[in-house]
Amino acid sequence: MGYERQADFGTPEVRSETAVTCSIDGREVTVPAGTTVMRAAALTGGSIPKLCATDNLKQFGSCRLCLVEIDGMRGTPASCTTPVADGMKVHTQTPKLQKLRKGVMELYISDHPLDCLTCSANNDCELQDQAAAVGLRDVRYGYEGENHLGAAPDVSNPYFDFDPSKCIACSRCVRACDEVQGTLALTIEGRGFESKVSAGLASDSFLSSECVSCGACVSACPTATLQEKAVKEIGKPERSVITTCAYCGVGCTFRAEMRGEQVVRMVPWKDGKANRGHSCVKGRFAWGYAQHQERVLSPMIRESIDQPWREVSWEEALSYTAREINRIRDTYGRNALGGIVSSRCTNEEGFLVQKLIRAGFGTNNVDTCARVCHSPTGYGLKTTFGTSAGTQDFDSVEDSDVMLVIGANPTDGHPVFASRMKRRLRKGAKLIVIDPRRTDLVRSPHIEADFHLPLRPGTNVAILTALAHVIVTEGLADEAFIRERCDWDEYQHWAEFVSAERNSPEFLSPVIGVDAEAIRGAARLFATGGNGAIYYGLGVTEHSQGSSTVMAIANLAMVTGNIGRRGVGVNPLRGQNNVQGACDMGSFPHELSGYRHVSDAATRALFEAEWGVPIDPEPGLRIPNMLDAATDGEFKAIYIQGEDILQSDPDTKHVMAGLAAMECVIVHDLFLNETANYAHVFLPGSTFLEKNGTFTNAERRIQPVRKVMEPLNGYEDWQVTQELARAVGLDWNYTHPSEIMDEIARLTPTFAGVNYARLDAEGSLQWPVNAAAPDGSPIMHVDGFVRGKGKFVVTDYVPTDERTGPRFPLLLTTGRILSQYNVGAQTRRTANVIWHEEDLLEIHPTDAENRGLKSGDWVKLASRSGETTLRATVTDRVAPGVVYTTFHHPATQANVVTTDYSDWATNCPEYKVTAVQITPSNGPTEWQEDYDAQALRSRRIAGHEGAMEPAE
Amino acid sequence: MSGQMAEKLAYMVNQIARNLVHDAAPVASVADHIVAFWTPRMIDTLLAEGTSALDPVAAEAMERVKAARAAHAG
């Protein structure tokens, strides 16, 4: 589509079962009761002048431009605050109104620069539009009086500027920060003529304030006061394309606003059903990595990792790779080969990678990065409910009365959904947070958790069982729901187990480290507080009992009857943009798309008929098993698309040893990442801006990804995989990802009704989309569980084998920060580094004092696996005995210290519990220095000596 | 595969057994889990070391897997 501003109906949509009909300038319109005159007028195609109103903010009634006349009513009411009534006759354009509006506009313009032609918002400015709409021709007051025209701009934020000389004090930015984002960083300081927008204290700039750079204020601003630096530099966009963000599992949709092949800005799409017009700093602003100078655009090969890389043609790279794959298969057998599907790439790309491994390499040795994040979700929810997915859509939170957030930090990891949660919490929903760390959600403006249970890392199952103990023994179980929807015998077996004294809060309190009465209070609140919704993240899954914890969560939802309707449910917050999709696409070694086990002959027959090759009926190796088999000399080649296992996977030294033992490591990525230090083939990848496809977000929503520019490397990632498949002898001839989706739909019952035409027409679809649910499934398990009866599973607390002791007395847990994403490959190549230049170690004041540490000191972080150094920050966010860090920077290599303990059911690594010791340090360890030297050597490119080498 | 690998696999099956010990039929559950998620090579490697050093539920489950594989092969 060409460039035009997104439609704005002035005031928010109102939901009502009652309809009212009124007449606006003679045009009759029927709207839900409670709708404003302004919105009703916009719905008829009219446009009442406005400045302070916009339809994602509550009406404010301050600009006095939207006045109307209504038959039978005195005066000229503001249309933004006047609801329509049956039979109302409204006049929006009369001589009286024109005079009033012109007078108002005259006052605004008397204190506004008249530099429209050179203004960056020229022809894209609401103030300019409204001045035209009211017919302003002159300003009688002159421009010599007191004004704000000389106010200095604040250019501190890396992505947008604040120019107060252009501010009309409409408060849209302040209200957007309050209502949309929920940070409340902005305010109007002073009164009357002195009123001005301020980011916190007068001494604060936007950068030093609490502003989280979500961009809501920038989108809300009707002038050039708050504007993207990129618009100032490049100019107004000339076209826009709707696409889906490639960062977290929320799956925000954006309008990529373009000038030629250059992105001018990414603006959250108001019709996006996942984000409802909101965004975070990553999706809104941090897309510059796509053009980063360190992107590798030429294929490269080398026989040995000691050699420098050699740039070659695509043809040579692919034929070399195919020869190596065939050689290794002939020498060691097909099970010496394998691959990893990326949770960052599209569904279609993931499907092709697993198809290449199964049908081309002839093995089920395929896995995905979900192995190290949400594989326990797959196991746990499939076991209890019958399918591996969250039960709700994001809108569901609007009907939640109690939110239980466990092992998730949504304000940092899933910020756009966190804003939705905060909006509901500010309206009165209750909040229980179970987390070792005091996350921002625990206490933020107008929000305070009713219970924060700061458990010891590794005791999730204990605390969930204790909660269940209270619910069952105090008679709070929803027996009617359980009898109707669940297996009653299994429930009784489980209820007997949780009721045992050894599962009471009082008995388990010393283990959990939380007061028993607080556990009882939280249990009572969750069971009796109305609609209860559980949200969880990697703090649940990345444990030795990750799968048990997921099942304990499912038990808790079933015992309280919180499944199958809006406002309730079990909601895994997915880490990466397409974790859900990668899992759906059959990326796990034991199952084909749609979560069907490879041992199922009927399913295999379906694929064998479509693909024309036999499928191995036995499960393949998981990522950690592949690395183990490699160090044992049995696994020799791997194709890794879009994942950096050397930085993201646990026990770095073990990963290095596994990669080093392979004869052909093929990395398909944007940058020479850490894993590429051990690679023999590098295939350049494409960004989400350069490809067509779909991502599936945490609410099972399949959304289009659209190409807005040609791939700098020459090919979309699905094309690269197709060429590799052809090189190894497969006759693939896809011409567009829509054909891959058609194949997915043919082979996957839950995707049966999905195709590109429908996605284009409807914007998104939530699986299952099939004959039973032709329009998709916003809420799952409505009339019954996918597996039939819900299954209660006994989850006995088994302490991790990773124990603290005299040598390693502290527990390390890891997480992420708002401005960075995963291993930082993308966000570290943007201006986001200004907020997080390095990983820091959070340590409690008591533990810091015992070690003579203060904030900013270098510390050595040591575990049984290894040691690294980083700087400390002393904070009571973490409890005594617990330390915390992020893993966004390769210089830190936090995974050097994590162990190879893993979830019992899925081998998801136990990132969240490592026994460590912290001691003062002078700087990097010898290991870190050796690692850096090896990384530098391995990134040499023949012919580029002396040039700036691409580096992580 | 090496003895080190067998040691790791023994740890894994014991861990699985510890987590399924409260199931209605723990031995069957452990055996089913192994068959569903382990490659035949992983199973063979562990069986080659023998099951005597495993925890009782794990050992019984691996014996069951062994019998099923023998029956299937036969």
How confident is the model over A736-791, as pLDDT tens digits? 999 999 999 999 999 999 999 999 999 999 999 999 999 999 999 999 999 999 99
Provide the shortest C-alpha distance from residue B11 to chain A (in Å).
10
How confident is the model at residue A947, as a pLDDT? 54
- CA distances for B11 relative to A373, A858, B4, B32, angstroms: 22, 37, 11, 17
Backbone torsion region of residue A946, taken as left when φ is above 0, otherwise alpha when ψ lies between -120 and 50, otherwise beta: left
Yes or no: say if A235 and A214 are a contact pair by the CB < 8 Å rule: no
How confident is the model at residue A824, as a pLDDT? 84
Tokens of A187: 């305010």
Interface of A with B (CB under 8 A): 335, 493, 497, 544-545, 547-548, 589-590, 597, 599, 618-622, 625, 628-629, 632, 634, 794, 796, 798, 904-907
How confident is the model at residue B2, as a pLDDT? 59
| Band (A816; pLDDT cuts 50, 70, 90) | confident
Instruction: Tell whether the model's pLDDT for residue B24 goes beyond 90.
Output: no
- For A501, counting Cβ atoms within 10 Å of its Cβ (0-12 exposed, 13-18 middle, 19+ buried), the class is exposed
Yes or no: say if A265 and A231 are a contact pair by the CB < 8 Å rule: yes
What average pLDDT does the segment A258-283 reach? 96
| Band (B74; pLDDT cuts 50, 70, 90) | low
Q: Tokens 């990134």 belong to which residue?
A: A939
| Band (A949; pLDDT cuts 50, 70, 90) | very low
Residues of B in contact with A651 (CB under 8 A): none
C-alpha–C-alpha distance, residues A185 and A211, integer Å: 5
Yes or no: say if A530 and A568 are a contact pair by the CB < 8 Å rule: no
Handedness of CA A836, A838, A839, A845 (dihedral sign): negative
- For A659, counting Cβ atoms within 10 Å of its Cβ (0-12 exposed, 13-18 middle, 19+ buried), the class is buried
How confident is the model at residue A137, as a pLDDT? 92
What average pLDDT does the segment A667-694 reach? 97
Write phi, then psi, for A507 (nearest 5 degrees): -70, -40
Instruction: Tell whether the model's pLDDT for residue A448 goes beyond 50.
Output: yes
C-alpha–C-alpha distance, residues A536 and A403, integer Å: 10
Strands A89-91 and A19-24 come out as parallel
H-helix or E-strand spanning residue A532: strand A532-536
| CA neighbor of A864 nearest in space, from A795, A914, A925, A911 | A914
Residue of A548, A621, A798 with shortest CB distance to B39: A621
pTM of the model: 0.95
| Band (A946; pLDDT cuts 50, 70, 90) | low
- For A84, counting Cβ atoms within 10 Å of its Cβ (0-12 exposed, 13-18 middle, 19+ buried), the class is buried
H-helix or E-strand spanning residue A641: strand A637-641
Tokens of A808: 């390693």
| Band (A142; pLDDT cuts 50, 70, 90) | confident
Instruction: Tell whether the model's pLDDT for residue A951 goes beyond 60.
Output: no
Substitution target in A904, A906, A908 with the highest count of B β-carbons within 10 Å is: A904
Yes or no: say if A671 and A952 are a contact pair by the CB < 8 Å rule: yes
Instruction: Tell whether the model's pLDDT for residue A836 goes beyond 90.
Output: no
| Band (A793; pLDDT cuts 50, 70, 90) | very high
Eight-state DSSP code of residue A925: -
Which contacts (CB < 8 Å, 24+ apart) does range A88-91 have? A88/A20, A88/A22, A88/A23, A88/A37, A89/A22, A89/A23, A90/A22, A90/A23, A90/A24, A90/A25, A90/A37, A90/A40, A90/A41, A91/A25
Q: Tokens 């199958």 belong to which residue?
A: A564
Residues of A in contact with B55 (CB under 8 A): none
Substitution target in B1, B19, B41 with the highest count of A β-carbons within 10 Å is: B19
What average pLDDT does the segment A588-616 reach? 97
Q: Tokens 């696996």 belong to which residue?
A: A865
CA atoms within 13 A on the CB side of A591: 21
Instruction: Tell whether the model's pLDDT for residue A895 goes beyond 90.
Output: no
Tokens of A437: 């760390």
Chains A–B, number of C-beta pairs less than 8 Å apart: 56
Tell me how many degrees the CA angle A664-A369-B32 measures, rounded to the nearest 5: 100
What average pLDDT does the segment A491-496 reach? 96
Yes or no: say if A491 and A478 are a contact pair by the CB < 8 Å rule: no
Yes or no: say if A671 and A295 are a contact pair by the CB < 8 Å rule: yes
Query: Mean pLDDT in chain A?
Result: 95
How confident is the model at residue A890, as a pLDDT? 79
C-alpha–C-alpha distance, residues A244 and A253, integer Å: 4
Residue of chain B whose Cα is closest to the Cα of A493? B24
Handedness of CA A926, A895, A652, A916 (dihedral sign): positive
| CA neighbor of A462 nearest in space, from A405, A406, A512 | A512
Eight-state DSSP code of residue A506: H
What average pLDDT does the segment A223-236 reach? 96
Strands A532-536 and A402-406 come out as parallel
Partner residues linked to A941 by β-bridges: A309
What average pLDDT does the segment A679-690 reach? 98
pLDDT digits (tens, 9 = 90+) for A534-565: 999 999 999 999 999 999 999 999 999 999 99
How confident is the model at residue A948, as a pLDDT? 47
C-alpha–C-alpha distance, residues A76 and A96, integer Å: 9
- Lowest mean pLDDT across A134-138, A142-146, A379-383, A411-415: A142-146
Query: Mean pLDDT in chain B?
Result: 91
Buried b (16+ CB within 10 A) or exposed e, A634-651: bbbbbbbbbbbbbbbbbb
- Lowest mean pLDDT across A172-186, A342-356, A541-555, A918-932: A918-932
Instruction: Tell whether the model's pLDDT for residue A505 goes beyond 60.
Output: yes
A905–B33: do the CB atoms touch at under 8 Å? yes
- Return all residues near A739 (Cβ < 8 A) that are at least 6 apart: none
How confident is the model at residue A952, as a pLDDT? 43
| One-letter identity of residue A207 | L
Residues of A in contact with B15 (CB under 8 A): 544, 798, 904
Yes or no: say if A211 and A159 are a contact pair by the CB < 8 Å rule: no
What average pLDDT does the segment A515-521 reach? 98
| CA neighbor of A348 nearest in space, from A835, A24, A741, A616 | A741
SS3 label, residue A162: strand
What average pLDDT does the segment A629-647 reach? 95
Write phi, then psi, for A861 (nearest 5 degrees): -110, 110
Yes or no: say if A560 and A531 are a contact pair by the CB < 8 Å rule: no
Handedness of CA A108, A109, A110, A111 (dihedral sign): positive
Angle formed by the axes of helices A347-355 and A737-747, nearest 10°: 70
| Band (A420; pLDDT cuts 50, 70, 90) | very high
How confident is the model at residue B3, as a pLDDT? 66
Residue of B15, B23, B42 with shortest CB distance to A625: B42
How confident is the model at residue A144, as a pLDDT? 83
Residues of B in contact with A487 (CB under 8 A): none
How confident is the model at residue A905, as a pLDDT? 96
Strands (E), A548-616: 569-572, 591-592, 596-597
Q: How many CB atoms lie within 10 A of CB A448?
A: 12
How confident is the model at residue A823, as a pLDDT? 80
| CA neighbor of A721 nearest in space, from A314, A330, A327, A371 | A314
H-helix or E-strand spanning residue B72: helix B56-73
